[in-house]
Structure 1
Amino acid sequence: MTAPSARRTAATVLALALSFAVPGCGAGIGGDDSSSGLKRGDGSASPRAASPRPASPGSASPSPSSSAPDSKATPKGGVSEPGDVDQKSADEVGKGALTAMWTYDTAVDSSPRDAGVRAADAGWLTGSYARQLRRHSPRSAPGAQWEEWSQHRAYTTVELAKTEDAAKPDDTGTVAWRQWTLTATPHGRDGWKQKPTTAVAYVHLVRSATDKPWRVSEVTVR
C-alpha cells in the first residue's frame, strides 16, 4: 500500500477534519516504543506519511482551555473495547480503533479530541500513540461546525469499508498495514441529520510478538 502523498487540513472539508492522528512516528507496544513494527523485513522504511494533526469538524481545533475530556463517558450507541474483539486479528483491532476514534457525541464530548482520548484510554493504541493523543493541546476553539452539532446534541455513527490497494506490504508476525474508507454520519437527537462525510484511513498496527495482541501505532487520513 502506498502511503498518502498529501494531507488535507481542517480548513478544507468536514470529512478530513475528522482526523485524530497526531504528528510523530508510529511506535511499538507498551514501554518499548522503539520495538518491532517500524521496518519492513528487508530493513527498508515502512511506507508511511506524516500523520495529520487533530482537527475538529470546523475550521479550527479545540481550545486547550476547554473542559477536560471525560474518557469514561459513553457516547450514543457506545463503542467497543479491545476485549470485545479478536485481538490477534489486525482487521478487528484496526476497525475497533477507528470506530472509537471517530465516534463523537456532543452530549458527552467537549470537542472531537475527547474521542481520541477515549480510544487511547480503552487500550486500542500503542503506549506511545496513546500518550501523543492525550497530551496534544490544540490551539483554538472547536469551530462553527462543532457548535452546530452541539446545538442538535449530535453524535456520529461510523461505517468502514476495507479498500486496500495492491501495493500494500505483506503482513509480518509483528507488523500490519490496513486501509479503510471511513464514513461518519452526524445525527441530532432532535431529528437533525447531516450528509455523511468520507475519508480514507491508513492504519499501522504492531505487536511485540506473534502471540501478543495487535495495537494501532499510527493513523493517517486523506
Structure 2
Amino acid sequence: MVATVLACVLTATGCGSGGEQDAAVPPSSSAATGTGSYPTPPGPSEAAPLPTGFKGTPEGDVPRPADVDRRNADAVGRGALTVMWTYDATVDSGPHDAGLRAADAGWLTKAYATRLRAHRARSAPGAQWREWTDHRAHTVVTLRKAEDAAKPADTGTEAWRQWTVTATPSGRDGWQGEPTTVVAYVRLTRTAADETWRVADVTVP
C-alpha cells in the first residue's frame, strides 16, 4: 500500500516483505510528559537553509514555508505533512517525490532532507499507484491533531507533534479512491529559541 511505501520513505529505512524495518536509534535524553511512548529522537540535526523549488506542481493547495508562521511548531508541522502526503500521479513518479518536494521547499532540516534525497526505493510503485496513474489522480489531504499525554515537553529548540493524516485520491476523470489514514509523529527542531522551526523527523508506526 502507499501508506507502507511512504512510511519507508519517511523513515529512510528499508522495507522487506514483512513490513517496515525499524532503525536503531540512540537513547533519548528527553523526558516524556505522560506515561505512553513517543519515538526516541535521534541526535541533534542542523537546520540550515535549503534551496527552494519543486520537482513538479501537484494539484491542490500545497502550502509553502512562506505561507505559515515558521515560529509556530504546529503550523510548520501541519504544512510539512500536507506537502509530504500530497501526491499527484501526473507529475510524480511515486510517493517519494512528495518528500522530495518538502525537502526542496525548505520544510525539513538539512539532515532529514539529505536522508530523504538519499533514499532509493527497492522496487517501482505497485498496483495502487498504477491505478492512480490511470485516473490521473491526486490526493486531498486532511489532518487532525492527535496528541497524547506521553508527548515530550517542548523546549526552546525541540518540539514533538502527533497528527492523524488522511490522504484521499481523487481522479481528474471523476474517480474517487479509498482514503488512507496514518498516524504521524513529527519532531521539529530549531537552532535557537528565536529561530524558525523545521521538521527533523517523521515517524509512521
Structure 1 unaligned segments of length 5 or more: list them.
1-12, 25-37, 52-69
Matched, 1:86 2:69: yes
The aligned residue for residue 161 of structure 1 is 144
Q: Equivalent residue for 1:21?
A: 10
Q: Does 1:212 pair with 2:201?
A: no
Unaligned runs of 5+ in 2: 14-27, 43-52
Q: Deviations over 1:28-49 (max 9, x none)?
A: xxxxxxxxxx74279xxx9425
SS of structure 2 residue aligned to 1:114: helix
State the identity as a percent: 60
Alpha-carbon distance change, 101 to 142 in structure 1, aligned in 2, over 3 angstroms: same
> Residues 5-154 of structure 1: matches in 2 within 5 Å?
13-19=1-7, 20-23=9-12, 39-40=29-30, 47-48=38-39, 71-154=54-137
Q: Which residue of 2 aligns with 1:189?
A: 172
Report deviation, 1:169: 1.1
- Indicate if the aligned counterparts of 1:88 and 1:212 stay in contact, CA closer than 8 A: yes
2-structure distance, mates of 1:41, 1:165: 14
Where 2:169 maps in the other structure, the secondary structure is strand
1:111 to partner: Cα distance = 1.0
Q: Distance in 2 between matches of 1:89 and 1:144?
A: 39
What is the CA–CA distance in structure 2 between the aligned matches of 1:106 and 1:41, rounded to whole Å? 42
The structure with the greater share of residues assigned to helix is: 2
Q: Please report the TM-score for the alignment, with normalisation by the length of structure 2.
A: 0.79
Considering only aligned residues, what root-mean-square deviation do their CA atoms show, in Å? Answer: 2.3
Q: Is the 8 A contact 1:49 1:220 kept in 2?
A: no
Between the aligned partners of 1:175 and 1:198, the Cα distance in structure 2 is 26
User: TM-score, structure 1 length as denominator?
Assistant: 0.73
Following TM superposition, by how much is the alpha carbon of 1:211 offset from its aligned partner in structure 2, in angstroms? 0.8
Q: Encode CA deviations 1:33-77: one digit per residue, 9 max, x unaligned.
A: xxxxx74279xxx942599xxxxxxxxxxxxxxxxxx93321001
Which of 160, 169, 179 is the aligned partner of 1:177? 160
Matched residues in 1 for 2:98 and 2:158: separation? 25
C-alpha contact 2:138 2:171 (8 A) present in aligned 1 = yes
Query: Quick check: 1:16–1:199 contact (8 Å CA) kept in 2?
Result: no
| Offset from partner CA, 1:146-201 (integer Å, 9 cap, x none) | 00100000000110000100111110111100001111100000000012111100
SS at match of 1:158: strand
Cα shift at 1:140: 1.0
Task: Provide runs of 4+ in structure 1 moved above 6 Å.
Answer: none
Matched residue SS, 1:21: helix
How many aligned positions are there?
A: 176
Distance in 1, matches of 2:168 and 2:40, equals 26
